[in-house]
Structure 1
Amino acid sequence: MSRMETSRTLSAFPKIISVDDHTVEPPDVWRDRLPKKYQDTGPRIVRAPLKEMTFLGGKFAPVMGGPGDDGPLGDWWVYEDLHRPLTRLDTAVGYSRDEIKLEVITYEQMRPGSYDVPRRLADMDVNHVQSALCFPTFPRFCGQTFTEAKDRELGLLGVRAYNDWMVEEWCGPDAHGRLIPLTLVPLWDARLAAAEVRRNAARGVRAVAFSEIPPHLGLPSVHTDDWDPFLAACDETGTVIAMHIGSSSRMPSTSADAPPAVGSTITFANCCFSMVDWLMSGKFERFPNLRVMYAEGQIGWIPYILERADVVWEENRGWGGVADKVHRPPSELFAGHVFGCFFDDAFGLRNLDAIGIGNVLYETDYPHSDSTWPKSREVGEAQMGHLEAEVVERIVRGNAIELLGLTDDGLWAGPGGAR
């Protein structure tokens, strides 16, 4: 391709709607929203030294030091007995790959776009991104932090406080409709979860975070009826269930001493297991408007799993426990209900016909270490250069507009959104 052709192609690349970015919550999210009696137990930031930290076998284990202890200073979220530091892996954009290490940091040591709305929009402009859906940091990808807490009353208040901040501030007027809300639910109670889905849907929210494998959190599986109140609420309100890799608090790994590189290579595995769960659960037939998406799971693995699931359903459903609840081939259910998300998957794009043009969404993963920022446009063009312009348009923004109920211009139109 000539330099002139490359320039012309890049200038025509659609403005990106990223369905997987992240926010680092400012220090005052819970401090400003919880009752006074919870000021000393609710989530708050403390600056303290790090004593030690390991990340092996998919398990992250930091130890916070006290006054007089040596060690690098970092900002820590403290909540009940939890001490969780901000780390360079939470917000790595602006640093070279070789500089990105597992280390504690302060807010002053991160790119301001990680937590500040105007700075985020500026960084989106640099990256050819129009709109972005953001997953949490301190609550973890689907609110596991509150699910694991001892005080359920405080946990519910924490979930609601986060959602209020997400809708009213992060996606508020200063965002001009460019930040798309993703809310949490109290995972320990499906009826409370359903109520929270409906509360947020009433103010224009169309996406909720959920765990890819709930039993890893000590919760029921999707094969039970326990989640039905929550699923019914999502079905009725058109709320998409968004599952991020790691939203079961257990990243794939092979052994307790496997280095992080092993888990990083096979991060898609939980998404794979989860998708088979959903396809064989019968939930898509019971809740026909239900939609699920897998953030950061990539897409290249999907064709084989669909092929295998169809074979199992066709040949083994009689003894496989699904004949009475899964009445169509899993690949047909996938086409109507499941969306794969990617930011760097040339193999998947070469096999797009086996996945489905309408089942693929684009992401940039800002501000994580895997992020393609500030080159998401160039990365997308390099991988999608063989596709027709209409196909690229659907992948980069059209599918997200339809799935998330955005305006034709790709903006969120809820309270404080697009004007």
Structure 2
Amino acid sequence: MNAMDAPSAFPRIISVDDHTVEPAHVWQDRLPKKYLDTGPRVVRAPLKEMTFLGGRFAPVMGEPGGREGPVGDWWVYEDLHRPLTRLDTAVGYDRDEIRLEVITYEQMRAGSHDVPHRLADMDVNHVQSALCFPTFPRFCGQTFTEARDKELALLCVRAYNDWMVEEWCGPSARGRLIPLTLIPLWDAELAAAEVRRNAERGVRAVAFSEIPPHLGLPSVHTDAWDPFLAACDETGTVVAMHIGSSSRMPSTSADAPPAVGSTITFANCCFSMVDWLMSGKFERFPGLRVMYAEGQIGWIPYILERADVVWEENRGWGGVADKVRRPPSELFAGHVYGCFFDDAFGLRNLDAIGVGNVLYETDYPHSDSTWPKSREVGEAQMGHLPPDVVERIVRGNAIDLLGLTPDGLWPGAR
């Protein structure tokens, strides 16, 4: 009997934060010929050295065919050399076996980059549908934002989106993979056009940076993003922000080990949410909705409490009296969604967050993923909740937010 057909009181999961490792052909198949030697491509080469301290990832590639160190597959684009690592695709490995090391496509779980294998791994994990963030472009397309040749970068963004919609989420996915597209972050007008282009083919989610100024971009307190936000408002496109989408993972010092940053990964989401709540954007764009992938939810009640106190007592001198006209907690209820995969504390305090503002995720295939036991984790942490509440958290809220069919499938797959 197929795992998807096994009897269970736990609803079939719609994960709003999984990841795809792009196949090597994505850009080579879609860019004009003149860009094939400068656009993203994969080479096999040794690793000379690699560190990940203070939230900074620093790999150094050796010469292709050389023997300076362990061999892996690398994405090469302009001056960027980015290896595939075990952290990109860690599921199936014992926790103590997961290291920061380079790998090849053959050494990763096939479900990381292959649709049929992904669906099979979703079946094992009681997952019906999944929204996937990118790997090589980084979580909101920072790779292309940092590129010198913006004409090529725009083509790369569009090529990724075409692959995401037509291939990754195409007919073979049977509606079970939900598209998440990118925008050219360096130009809000171009970003708005890309949102509308993808919305016309059924896309309802776009990746964005949790803290744009960390990327050298305007903050949400300016009007610079208004064309993009207007397009999202008009098309019902959700702004999805993943931890690390500001290219700066939280840390405390340059020599802090990765365990420090891993413990406080929610911090950027926290800062970002306060930015949005105090920006006035939710009142200017009433249909705008944002979600925080992999940010967990246990921290939200206190931040809402504090934001309301500041708004009530300090808005006269706090610079928000003329643009934030409702308590931040009310704005949160109508516009913000927190996403979690393992947060028992948050679920015990769900009444202070809001049942309608919480989404479930599995983080496949990353090292934090609850695969293949996302169902068991969910059952253990949500056992105290009524079945209708569990249904909303595990799938119902995602269906409403992402415009899925009542069966939880993306209607644009064909």
What's the TM-score once normalised by structure 1's chain length? 0.97
Match of 2:45 among 45, 48, 53: 48
Q: Which residue of 1 aligns with 2:274?
A: 276
The answer on 1:339 being equivalent to 2:337 is: yes
Question: Take 2:88 and 2:138, find their aligned partners in 1: how far apart are those partners?
Answer: 11
Distance in 2 of aligned mates of 1:389 and 1:93: 29
Q: Contact 1:364–1:372 (CA<8 Å) still a contact in 2?
A: yes
Equivalence for 1:4: none
2:318 alignment partner, one of 317, 320, 335:
320
Shift of 1:70: 2.0
Aligned to 1:18, which of 15, 20, 44?
A: 15
For residues 20-419 of structure 1, what are the structure 2 equivalents within 5 Å? 20-66=17-63, 67-416=65-414
What is the aligned-residue RMSD (CA, Å)?
A: 0.8
Measure, in 1, the Cα distance between the counterparts of 2:66 and 2:179: 41
Gaps of 5+ in 2: 1-5
Q: Does structure 2 retain, via aligned residues, the 8 Å contact 1:10–1:381?
A: no
Contact 2:55 2:258 in 1 (8 A): yes
CA shift for structure 1 position 69: 3.4
Q: CA deviation at 1:83?
A: 0.1
Q: 1:375 to 1:119 in 2, by over 3 A?
A: same
Structure 2: how far apart are the matches of 1:53 and 1:266? Answer: 22
Deviations 1:101-147 (A, max 9, x none): 00000000000000000000000000000000000000000000000
Question: Secondary structure in 1 aligned to 2:86?
Answer: coil
User: TM-score, length-normalised on structure 2?
Assistant: 0.98
SS at match of 2:87: coil
Letter in 2 for 1:38: Y
Q: What SS class does the counterpart of residue 88 from structure 2 fall into?
A: coil
Whether contact under 8 Å (1:207, 1:242) holds in the other structure is yes
Alpha-carbon offset, residue 415 of structure 1? 4.2
Range with bigger deviation, 69-78 or 137-146 = 69-78
Measured in 2, the distance between the counterparts of 1:90 and 1:209 equals 18
- The one-letter amino acid of 1:136's match is P
Distance 1:69 1:249 in 2: 31
For structure 1, which runs of at least 5 residues remain unmatched after alignment? 1-8
Whole-angstrom CA distance in 1 between matches of 2:241 and 2:204: 14
Q: CA offsets, 1:43-96, max 9 Å, x none?
A: 000000000000000000000001433210000000000000000000000100
> Take 1:10 and 1:82, find their aligned partners in 2: how far apart are those partners?
48
Question: In the aligned structure 2, how far is the partner of 1:343 from the partner of 1:121?
Answer: 19
C-alpha change, 1:271 and 1:10, in structure 2 (3 Å) is farther
**Does the Cα contact within 8 Å between 1:185 and 1:196 map onto a contact in 2?**
yes
Q: Deviations over 1:157-188 (max 9, x none)?
A: 00000000000000000000000000000000
| 1:11 CA drift (Å) | 1.4
- Letter aligned with residue 33 of structure 1: R
